[in-house]
């Protein structure tokens, strides 16, 4: 299953402040800095872009896993443990 990050990325990118907004905010903060403590938060857009790019370029189907399982089933080496499956189903719903 592939997670579609297109809308998430678009909302994150468009919500980034412009250079003018950042400068105006810093000027306003600097004017009131003498009044007390201050905190500045910023996002790491480069990191966001990198993560979105990696996610969008990853394949929907991991062909190496599919081929490995197909070979194991064909050769008879893929064994299912009914007790383990039932136990996992019960644990998931408990």
Q: What is the pLDDT of residues 7-62, one digit of tens each?
A: 555 555 555 667 777 677 676 666 555 567 777 666 677 788 888 888 888 888 88
The pLDDT assigned to 42 comes to 65
Residue 83 pLDDT exceeds 60:
yes
> What pLDDT is recorded for position 89?
92
Is the pLDDT at 80 greater than 70? The verdict is yes
Interatomic CA distance for residues 9 and 40, integer angstroms: 23
pTM, full prediction: 0.34
Residue 68 to residue 36: CA distance in whole angstroms: 62
- Cα distances from 87 to residues 81, 82, 92, 93, in angstroms, run 10, 8, 9, 10
Question: In which residue are the tokens 């600097």 written?
Answer: 30
- pLDDT for 2: 56
- Backbone CA torsion sign across 19, 21, 24, 26: negative
């Amino acid at each position: 299953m592939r997670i579609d990050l297109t809308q998430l990325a678009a909302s994150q990118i468009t919500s980034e402040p412009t250079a003018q907004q950042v400068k105006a905010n810093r000027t306003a903060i600097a004017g009131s800095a003498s009044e007390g403590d201050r905190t500045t938060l910023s996002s790491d857009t480069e990191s966001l872009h990198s993560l979105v790019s990696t996610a969008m370029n990853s394949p929907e189907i991991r062909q190496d896993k599919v081929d490995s399982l197909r070979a194991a089933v064909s050769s008879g080496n893929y064994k299912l443990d009914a007790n383990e499956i039932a136990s996992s189903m019960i644990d998931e719903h408990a």
